[in-house]
Amino acid sequence: MKTLFEKIIDREITAQIEYEDADCIAIHDIDPQAPVHILVIPKVLIPRIAESASFKPEILGHLLQVAGKISEQLNLEKGFRLVINNGEDGGETVPHLHVHLLGGRKLKWPPG
């Protein structure tokens, strides 16, 4: 069965796309936790960061570079946060690795 993100990548479900290239897609989160909340998702299915060792490390680096590029496009020069959830206790709700780009307001620490 396809994940929610695979269905978005395959255009079976619509999403507000902020960025896309051959390796990833970046969409606006439907339940934003900050004024800017973008999900940067690899097009290859990596279930979670703890299972990423068998994939090309360039994929993970690319996700971070894309997040940086998007932060510039969205004028987040005052700061932003990148989050990767892993497992139920880590807040993972979709078993498809993705990077949360959060910004547009002052973020507190610890986050939760």
Look at residue 21 and give its three-state secondary structure.
coil
- What is the CB-side half-sphere exposure of residue 26 using CA atoms within 13 A? 24
Say if residues 108 and 61 touch (Cβ distance below 8 Å): no
Active site residue 98: yes
Catalytic residue among 37, 96, 98, 100: 98
Amino acid at 89: D
* Positions marked catalytic: 98
